[in-house]
Amino acid sequence: MITLISDMPPQIVSDLLGFSPSTTTQWAAYLQDSWSNFLLAREELRTSPEDS
């Protein structure tokens, strides 16, 4: 399901898998949020000055 939601709209995934649209929409929001936070944290690590 995670791969499908990453590649397709949540409403389509809900129809394909038989889940409620609200469930797949919540998963899509969760995945987007956590992925965004990961990318932000990674970028902060790359740009922060290193301790000597």
pLDDT of the residue at 33:
61
pLDDT at 51: 56
In tens digits, what is the pLDDT along the chain, a chain of 52 residues? 677 777 788 888 889 999 999 998 888 887 776 566 767 777 888 887 765 4
Closest CA to 5 of 13, 36, 29: 13
pLDDT at 7: 79
